[in-house]
Chains A and B, each alone.
Chain A
Amino acid sequence: MKNKRIEKLIYKNLDGTLSNKELEILKHEWDISEPVREEYQQILELRDKINESGIRKFKPLFEERLLDKLSSGKQLKIVSTGWTGSLGVSFRQIALTAAIILALLITYNMKNGNYYSIQNLFGDSNNNLEIAFDPVQNLLGRIE
Protein backbone atom coordinates (compact mmCIF):
# COMPACT_ATOMS: atom_id res chain seq x y z
CA MET A 1 0.00 0.00 0.00
CA LYS A 2 1.29 3.41 -0.94
CA ASN A 3 0.15 5.22 2.18
CA LYS A 4 2.24 3.55 4.87
CA ARG A 5 0.73 5.66 7.59
CA ILE A 6 -2.78 4.46 6.82
CA GLU A 7 -1.54 0.88 6.56
CA LYS A 8 -0.03 1.14 10.04
CA LEU A 9 -3.26 2.61 11.36
CA ILE A 10 -5.15 -0.38 9.99
CA TYR A 11 -2.86 -2.78 11.82
CA LYS A 12 -3.01 -0.73 14.98
CA ASN A 13 -6.79 -0.73 14.79
CA LEU A 14 -6.82 -4.52 14.60
CA ASP A 15 -4.35 -5.15 17.42
CA GLY A 16 -4.51 -2.12 19.67
CA THR A 17 -6.49 1.00 20.32
CA LEU A 18 -6.45 4.06 18.09
CA SER A 19 -6.55 7.53 19.53
CA ASN A 20 -9.56 9.66 18.58
CA LYS A 21 -7.49 11.54 16.04
CA GLU A 22 -6.13 8.36 14.46
CA LEU A 23 -9.60 6.87 14.34
CA GLU A 24 -10.89 9.96 12.60
CA ILE A 25 -8.14 9.79 9.98
CA LEU A 26 -8.75 6.10 9.30
CA LYS A 27 -12.49 6.60 9.10
CA HIS A 28 -12.06 9.42 6.66
CA GLU A 29 -9.72 7.38 4.44
CA TRP A 30 -12.08 4.43 4.61
CA ASP A 31 -14.96 6.58 3.41
CA ILE A 32 -13.16 8.11 0.48
CA SER A 33 -10.69 5.48 -0.66
CA GLU A 34 -11.51 2.16 -2.28
CA PRO A 35 -7.86 0.93 -2.01
CA VAL A 36 -7.97 1.46 1.75
CA ARG A 37 -11.07 -0.70 2.02
CA GLU A 38 -9.45 -3.34 -0.19
CA GLU A 39 -6.30 -3.23 1.88
CA TYR A 40 -8.30 -3.65 5.06
CA GLN A 41 -10.06 -6.65 3.57
CA GLN A 42 -6.79 -8.22 2.41
CA ILE A 43 -5.24 -7.81 5.83
CA LEU A 44 -8.25 -9.46 7.46
CA GLU A 45 -8.05 -12.36 5.01
CA LEU A 46 -4.35 -12.76 5.64
CA ARG A 47 -4.89 -12.83 9.39
CA ASP A 48 -7.59 -15.46 8.99
CA LYS A 49 -5.30 -17.60 6.87
CA ILE A 50 -2.48 -17.25 9.36
CA ASN A 51 -4.87 -18.29 12.12
CA GLU A 52 -6.04 -21.31 10.13
CA SER A 53 -2.47 -22.33 9.33
CA GLY A 54 -1.85 -23.34 12.94
CA ILE A 55 -1.10 -27.04 13.43
CA ARG A 56 -2.89 -28.02 16.60
CA LYS A 57 -1.97 -31.67 16.89
CA PHE A 58 1.09 -33.49 18.06
CA LYS A 59 1.91 -37.00 16.89
CA PRO A 60 -0.48 -39.72 18.08
CA LEU A 61 -0.30 -41.05 21.65
CA PHE A 62 1.23 -37.83 22.94
CA GLU A 63 0.08 -38.29 26.55
CA GLU A 64 1.06 -41.96 26.64
CA ARG A 65 4.57 -41.23 25.39
CA LEU A 66 4.90 -38.37 27.85
CA LEU A 67 3.82 -40.49 30.82
CA ASP A 68 6.18 -43.25 29.71
CA LYS A 69 9.05 -40.78 29.73
CA LEU A 70 8.10 -39.44 33.12
CA SER A 71 7.69 -42.92 34.56
CA SER A 72 10.94 -44.27 33.19
CA GLY A 73 12.83 -41.10 34.03
CA LYS A 74 13.99 -41.04 30.41
CA GLN A 75 13.34 -37.35 30.00
CA LEU A 76 14.18 -35.86 26.71
CA LYS A 77 17.17 -33.64 26.35
CA ILE A 78 16.79 -31.63 23.22
CA VAL A 79 20.37 -30.52 23.07
CA SER A 80 22.16 -33.72 23.86
CA THR A 81 24.10 -34.65 20.75
CA GLY A 82 27.82 -34.57 20.05
CA TRP A 83 30.21 -32.85 22.40
CA THR A 84 27.45 -30.87 24.05
CA GLY A 85 25.80 -34.06 25.32
CA SER A 86 26.13 -34.90 28.97
CA LEU A 87 28.41 -37.85 28.23
CA GLY A 88 30.65 -35.66 26.15
CA VAL A 89 30.79 -33.06 28.91
CA SER A 90 31.75 -35.69 31.51
CA PHE A 91 34.51 -37.08 29.31
CA ARG A 92 35.78 -33.63 28.60
CA GLN A 93 36.01 -32.86 32.29
CA ILE A 94 37.88 -36.11 33.00
CA ALA A 95 40.24 -35.53 30.07
CA LEU A 96 40.93 -31.97 31.17
CA THR A 97 41.67 -33.04 34.75
CA ALA A 98 43.99 -35.81 33.52
CA ALA A 99 45.82 -33.36 31.24
CA ILE A 100 46.38 -30.94 34.12
CA ILE A 101 47.69 -33.70 36.41
CA LEU A 102 50.00 -34.93 33.63
CA ALA A 103 51.33 -31.43 33.00
CA LEU A 104 52.03 -30.94 36.73
CA LEU A 105 53.76 -34.30 36.92
CA ILE A 106 55.98 -33.54 33.90
CA THR A 107 56.88 -30.15 35.33
CA TYR A 108 57.78 -31.69 38.66
CA ASN A 109 59.92 -34.38 37.02
CA MET A 110 61.68 -31.88 34.78
CA LYS A 111 62.51 -29.74 37.77
CA ASN A 112 63.91 -32.63 39.77
CA GLY A 113 65.56 -34.59 36.98
CA ASN A 114 69.25 -34.31 36.16
CA TYR A 115 68.80 -34.49 32.42
CA TYR A 116 65.97 -34.24 29.87
CA SER A 117 64.68 -37.49 28.44
CA ILE A 118 61.27 -38.93 27.81
CA GLN A 119 61.76 -41.47 30.57
CA ASN A 120 62.81 -38.79 32.96
CA LEU A 121 59.81 -36.64 32.08
CA PHE A 122 57.45 -39.37 33.19
CA GLY A 123 59.50 -40.18 36.26
CA ASP A 124 60.55 -43.48 34.79
CA SER A 125 63.97 -44.83 35.64
CA ASN A 126 65.80 -47.78 34.13
CA ASN A 127 65.36 -49.70 37.35
CA ASN A 128 63.80 -53.08 37.09
CA LEU A 129 62.06 -54.79 39.97
CA GLU A 130 65.21 -56.50 41.25
CA ILE A 131 67.07 -53.20 41.42
CA ALA A 132 64.12 -51.39 42.92
CA PHE A 133 63.92 -53.83 45.81
CA ASP A 134 67.65 -54.39 46.18
CA PRO A 135 68.58 -53.13 49.68
CA VAL A 136 72.11 -52.22 48.55
CA GLN A 137 70.81 -50.08 45.70
CA ASN A 138 68.31 -48.45 48.01
CA LEU A 139 71.04 -47.70 50.48
CA LEU A 140 73.21 -46.20 47.75
CA GLY A 141 70.30 -44.09 46.60
CA ARG A 142 69.82 -42.73 50.09
CA ILE A 143 73.53 -41.96 50.46
CA GLU A 144 73.53 -40.09 47.11
Chain B
Amino acid sequence: MVDENGMYLTNSPASEKLTDFELLELAKCSDRSAFTEIVKRYKSRIASTIYGMLGKCDEADDVGQEVFIRFYKSMENFRGDSALGTYLTRIAINLSLNEISRRKRKSIVSFDKMMEDGSDIQGNNNSVKENENREIIQLALQKLSAKYRTVIVLRLIDGYSTEETANILGIPLGTVLSRLTRAQIKLKEYLQPHMLET
Protein backbone atom coordinates (compact mmCIF):
# COMPACT_ATOMS: atom_id res chain seq x y z
CA MET B 1 0.00 0.00 0.00
CA VAL B 2 1.24 3.46 -0.89
CA ASP B 3 0.13 6.78 0.60
CA GLU B 4 -0.52 10.02 -1.30
CA ASN B 5 3.19 10.93 -1.20
CA GLY B 6 4.40 7.66 -2.59
CA MET B 7 5.65 6.36 0.75
CA TYR B 8 5.19 2.66 1.33
CA LEU B 9 3.08 2.02 4.37
CA THR B 10 4.64 -1.29 5.24
CA ASN B 11 4.76 -1.95 8.93
CA SER B 12 7.64 -4.33 8.99
CA PRO B 13 8.37 -5.64 12.48
CA ALA B 14 11.74 -6.85 11.23
CA SER B 15 12.99 -3.29 10.65
CA GLU B 16 14.34 -3.16 14.20
CA LYS B 17 16.78 -5.94 13.35
CA LEU B 18 18.11 -4.32 10.21
CA THR B 19 21.44 -2.51 10.07
CA ASP B 20 21.60 1.23 9.46
CA PHE B 21 22.75 0.59 5.92
CA GLU B 22 19.84 -1.73 5.17
CA LEU B 23 17.37 0.70 6.70
CA LEU B 24 18.82 3.52 4.66
CA GLU B 25 18.47 1.57 1.42
CA LEU B 26 14.83 0.83 2.25
CA ALA B 27 14.19 4.44 3.28
CA LYS B 28 15.61 5.60 -0.04
CA CYS B 29 12.93 3.46 -1.69
CA SER B 30 10.30 5.41 0.27
CA ASP B 31 9.84 2.76 2.95
CA ARG B 32 8.22 4.74 5.72
CA SER B 33 8.79 2.19 8.47
CA ALA B 34 12.52 2.11 7.67
CA PHE B 35 12.74 5.88 7.94
CA THR B 36 10.77 5.81 11.20
CA GLU B 37 13.14 3.19 12.57
CA ILE B 38 16.12 5.42 11.76
CA VAL B 39 14.42 8.30 13.60
CA LYS B 40 13.66 6.08 16.59
CA ARG B 41 17.25 4.85 16.67
CA TYR B 42 18.87 8.26 16.66
CA LYS B 43 16.38 10.69 18.15
CA SER B 44 17.73 10.45 21.71
CA ARG B 45 21.29 11.06 20.56
CA ILE B 46 20.16 14.02 18.48
CA ALA B 47 18.09 15.31 21.40
CA SER B 48 21.10 15.30 23.72
CA THR B 49 23.17 17.14 21.12
CA ILE B 50 20.55 19.80 20.47
CA TYR B 51 19.50 20.31 24.09
CA GLY B 52 23.17 20.49 25.04
CA MET B 53 23.74 23.17 22.44
CA LEU B 54 20.55 25.18 22.94
CA GLY B 55 19.53 24.43 26.51
CA LYS B 56 16.02 23.50 27.49
CA CYS B 57 13.83 25.49 25.12
CA ASP B 58 10.91 25.07 22.73
CA GLU B 59 13.11 25.60 19.69
CA ALA B 60 15.09 22.44 20.47
CA ASP B 61 12.23 20.19 19.41
CA ASP B 62 11.77 22.17 16.18
CA VAL B 63 15.49 21.91 15.42
CA GLY B 64 15.27 18.16 16.09
CA GLN B 65 12.48 17.84 13.55
CA GLU B 66 14.45 19.91 11.06
CA VAL B 67 17.48 17.60 11.46
CA PHE B 68 15.47 14.61 10.30
CA ILE B 69 13.73 16.61 7.56
CA ARG B 70 17.13 17.68 6.20
CA PHE B 71 18.30 14.11 6.42
CA TYR B 72 15.19 12.89 4.61
CA LYS B 73 15.81 15.37 1.81
CA SER B 74 19.52 14.58 1.48
CA MET B 75 19.28 10.83 2.01
CA GLU B 76 20.02 10.18 -1.65
CA ASN B 77 23.36 11.98 -1.33
CA PHE B 78 24.45 10.12 1.80
CA ARG B 79 27.28 7.86 0.64
CA GLY B 80 28.06 6.25 3.96
CA ASP B 81 31.53 7.79 4.30
CA SER B 82 30.75 8.34 7.97
CA ALA B 83 28.42 6.50 10.30
CA LEU B 84 24.78 7.51 10.11
CA GLY B 85 24.81 8.78 13.70
CA THR B 86 27.83 10.96 12.98
CA TYR B 87 26.15 12.34 9.87
CA LEU B 88 22.97 13.20 11.78
CA THR B 89 24.98 14.72 14.63
CA ARG B 90 26.80 16.93 12.15
CA ILE B 91 23.45 18.20 10.83
CA ALA B 92 22.25 18.72 14.41
CA ILE B 93 25.36 20.73 15.31
CA ASN B 94 25.07 22.91 12.20
CA LEU B 95 21.39 23.64 12.76
CA SER B 96 22.01 24.35 16.44
CA LEU B 97 24.75 26.80 15.53
CA ASN B 98 22.33 28.49 13.10
CA GLU B 99 19.80 28.77 15.89
CA ILE B 100 22.43 30.23 18.23
CA SER B 101 23.31 32.87 15.61
CA ARG B 102 19.63 33.68 15.21
CA ARG B 103 19.33 34.09 18.97
CA LYS B 104 22.34 36.35 19.06
CA ARG B 105 20.75 38.57 16.44
CA LYS B 106 17.50 38.69 18.35
CA SER B 107 19.09 38.62 21.87
CA ILE B 108 16.23 36.49 23.10
CA VAL B 109 17.64 35.41 26.44
CA SER B 110 20.11 36.82 28.87
CA PHE B 111 21.90 33.75 30.13
CA ASP B 112 23.64 35.67 32.88
CA LYS B 113 20.24 36.54 34.25
CA MET B 114 19.18 32.91 33.99
CA MET B 115 22.30 31.83 35.81
CA GLU B 116 21.54 34.30 38.58
CA ASP B 117 18.02 32.93 38.80
CA GLY B 118 19.42 29.42 38.95
CA SER B 119 21.68 30.33 41.84
CA ASP B 120 18.76 31.94 43.65
CA ILE B 121 16.79 28.73 43.45
CA GLN B 122 19.70 26.82 44.80
CA GLY B 123 20.38 29.29 47.57
CA ASN B 124 16.87 28.83 48.89
CA ASN B 125 17.16 25.07 49.16
CA ASN B 126 19.97 23.43 51.03
CA SER B 127 19.47 20.04 49.46
CA VAL B 128 20.22 20.29 45.79
CA LYS B 129 17.91 18.16 43.72
CA GLU B 130 19.22 16.30 40.73
CA ASN B 131 17.10 18.18 38.22
CA GLU B 132 18.27 21.47 39.69
CA ASN B 133 21.86 20.32 39.19
CA ARG B 134 21.00 19.42 35.63
CA GLU B 135 19.47 22.81 35.04
CA ILE B 136 22.46 24.62 36.51
CA ILE B 137 24.82 22.64 34.28
CA GLN B 138 22.64 23.41 31.28
CA LEU B 139 22.78 27.10 32.12
CA ALA B 140 26.54 26.98 32.62
CA LEU B 141 26.87 25.32 29.23
CA GLN B 142 24.94 28.19 27.68
CA LYS B 143 27.48 30.60 29.12
CA LEU B 144 30.23 28.99 27.08
CA SER B 145 30.83 30.33 23.62
CA ALA B 146 29.50 28.11 20.83
CA LYS B 147 32.90 26.66 19.88
CA TYR B 148 33.58 25.49 23.45
CA ARG B 149 30.04 24.31 24.01
CA THR B 150 30.15 22.20 20.86
CA VAL B 151 33.16 20.15 21.96
CA ILE B 152 31.74 19.66 25.45
CA VAL B 153 28.42 18.46 24.08
CA LEU B 154 29.98 16.05 21.61
CA ARG B 155 32.65 14.69 23.92
CA LEU B 156 31.09 14.73 27.39
CA ILE B 157 27.34 14.52 26.74
CA ASP B 158 27.13 12.53 23.51
CA GLY B 159 30.19 10.48 24.41
CA TYR B 160 32.08 10.77 21.14
CA SER B 161 35.82 10.23 21.28
CA THR B 162 38.08 13.23 20.68
CA GLU B 163 38.89 11.84 17.21
CA GLU B 164 35.20 11.52 16.34
CA THR B 165 34.56 15.02 17.69
CA ALA B 166 37.33 16.38 15.47
CA ASN B 167 35.87 14.50 12.52
CA ILE B 168 32.33 15.79 13.09
CA LEU B 169 33.50 19.38 13.42
CA GLY B 170 36.14 19.14 10.73
CA ILE B 171 38.86 20.60 12.94
CA PRO B 172 42.26 19.20 14.01
CA LEU B 173 42.49 16.90 17.00
CA GLY B 174 44.82 19.30 18.81
CA THR B 175 42.21 22.06 18.52
CA VAL B 176 39.55 19.78 20.01
CA LEU B 177 41.85 18.92 22.92
CA SER B 178 42.73 22.51 23.69
CA ARG B 179 39.09 23.61 23.42
CA LEU B 180 38.03 20.77 25.69
CA THR B 181 40.58 21.77 28.31
CA ARG B 182 39.64 25.45 28.21
CA ALA B 183 35.92 24.66 28.20
CA GLN B 184 36.19 22.40 31.22
CA ILE B 185 38.25 24.95 33.14
CA LYS B 186 35.60 27.58 32.41
CA LEU B 187 32.76 25.24 33.35
CA LYS B 188 34.47 24.40 36.61
CA GLU B 189 34.80 28.09 37.37
CA TYR B 190 31.10 28.67 36.70
CA LEU B 191 29.94 25.61 38.56
CA GLN B 192 32.29 25.45 41.53
CA PRO B 193 30.30 27.87 43.68
CA HIS B 194 27.06 26.07 42.85
CA MET B 195 27.77 22.41 42.75
CA LEU B 196 31.08 20.93 43.58
CA GLU B 197 30.85 21.39 47.31
CA THR B 198 27.54 19.50 47.40
Contacts and interface: CB of A to CB of B under 8 A. Distances in A.
B61 interface: yes
Interface residues of A, number: 35
Given A7-B185, A46-B188, A16 B196 contact: no
A24 interface: no
Given A55-B51, A66-B65, A49 B133 contact: yes
Contacts of B181: 8, 11-12, 15
A56 B184 contact: no
Q: Is the interface of B mostly helix, strand, loop or mixed?
A: helix
A63 B196 contact: no
Interface in A52-108: 52-59, 62-63, 65-67, 69-71, 73, 75-76, 78-79
A15 B61 CA distance: 30
A53 B138 contact: yes
Contacts of B141: 50, 53
A65 B184 contact: no
B152 A67 contact: no
Nearest to B195: A49
A63 B137 CA distance: 28
Contacts of B123: none
B62 interface: yes
Nearest to A50: B156
B95 to A, nearest CB: 7
A42 interface: yes
B4 interface: yes
B40 A63 contact: yes
Contacts of A69: 65, 69
Interface of B: 3-5, 7, 32, 36, 39-40, 43-45, 47-48, 51-52, 56, 59-66, 68-69, 72, 95, 98-99, 102, 130, 133-134, 137-138, 141, 152, 155-159, 162, 173, 176-177, 180-181, 184-185, 187-188, 191, 195-196
17 contacts: A12-B181, A42-B188, A46-B184, A50-B141, A50-B157, A51-B159, A54-B48, A54-B158, A56-B47, A57-B44, A58-B64, A62-B64, A63-B43, A75-B69, A78-B62, A78-B102, A79-B102
